[in-house]
Amino acid sequence: MSDDELKKKIRESIWEKMERLGIARFPKPIYGRIPNFIGADKAAENLRTLREWEQAEVIFVNPDSPQLPVRAFGLIDQKKVVMATPRLRKGFVLLDPARLPTKNYWKVVTIRNAIKYGMLVHPSVLSIDIKITGSVAVDRDGGRLGKGHGYSDLEFAILREYGAVDDATLVITTVHDIQIVPHVPMNENDLPVDIIVTPKHIFRTNTRYRKPKGIILDLINKREVEKIPLLKELLSKKVN
């Protein structure tokens, strides 16, 4: 079985199991998504206990539903929160609690309202302390599996190209305990995780996997380049 076939099998197994056990939450169906789960808020609360969270000033959080509490707690704890716009079409949006016109942080951190209340920023002006990402499955060695579109990996690669992240940037995921599997196959462009936070546990992976160094030209879909201005900008610099 190829790595791609194994990844597909793991994803489908997690989605099926979460639905069957009644762990999955809205939005449904969870198939094809970063699955929302019962206990996502508790996992976010556990994340807040980390010393790295306390010290962080700027956090990057994915826009998916299970990480909504993470984004809200970030603003509540007076951190700047950076999010990706859908499919990276408009790049990245910054939510600064000191500049928001409302203190209803739970309302602000939906993707629609983040674009409304936040401001679009170029990654060259960012310095990210922690990248929090959603996952379909992870393993205790730091292997991570997303929903299959590669956007979390691409986000990190773009941020890396502009100096907003580096090898020392902590990558954390919040998941349900059943999303931890024995092994996730990893490629050089895949983003590993340093810490896994669940409703019950916190695991430090001490991962041996290296974080992506940047954009790998051979792996870029040319059709996507035209749809993602930041990617087009980067590739034009590499070519020239």
CA distance 213 to 238: 14
Q: What is the mean pLDDT of residues 15-37?
A: 97
**Nearest alpha carbon to residue 230 among 161, 136, 173:** 161
Residues 6+ apart with CB under 8 A from 6: 185
- Beta-sheet strands, E only, within the chain: 58-61, 80-84, 92-95, 119-121, 130-133, 137-138, 144-145, 170-174, 195-197, 202-204
pLDDT above 70 for 147: yes
Q: What is the pTM of this model?
A: 0.95
225 pLDDT higher than 80: no
> What does the DSSP 8-state code read for residue 179?
G
Percent of the chain with pLDDT over 70: 95
Look at residue 123 and tell me whether its pLDDT is greater than 90.
yes
Can you tell me the mean pLDDT for 98-119?
93
CA-nearest of 91, 164, 176 to 130 is 164
Ramachandran sector of residue 64 (left: φ over 0; alpha: ψ -120 to 50; beta: rest): beta
